[in-house]
Amino acid sequence: MEDTRSMIKQVFDAIADEAKKNGRISYEELEILKQVKYDLFKYEASLKRALDDGVITPEENERLQFLKQQVETNAVTVANFDGLVDREEQEMLSVLAKVLDKYLG
């Protein structure tokens, strides 16, 4: 389970680092971070349940893939809430997509 927590932390840390890159975190970036943290928590909880018996069933895998996509989709929705996705938000979303693929497959 520690590996799971480590992967989730690495995903979050990567986008948090991107948000801090310019020396400050804007309100919109903070909102994206909060949404991603919430969605990663849901993903982690589902992954832990799926791993309880040592086997990820096709149904569990489908649920995990849905939740992974939801992390990205919800981040885009939050970024676009004000009708504008600025360069910093775009960079966060780009990093998020890369690390989700790297750590969550």
6-61 per-position pLDDT tens digit: 999 999 999 999 999 999 999 999 999 999 999 999 999 999 999 999 999 999 99
CB 96 within 8 A of CB 69: no
How many structural domains comprise the chain? Answer: 1
pTM, two decimals, is 0.92
Q: Using one digit for the tens of pLDDT, what is the confidence trace for 66-85?
A: 999 999 999 999 999 999 99
- pLDDT surpasses 80 at 2: no
Amino acid (one-letter) located at 8: I
**How many angstroms separate the Cα of 6 from the Cα of each of 1, 98, 104?**
9, 16, 11
More confident residue, 105 or 30: 30
What residue numbers bound the domain in which 82 lies?
2-104
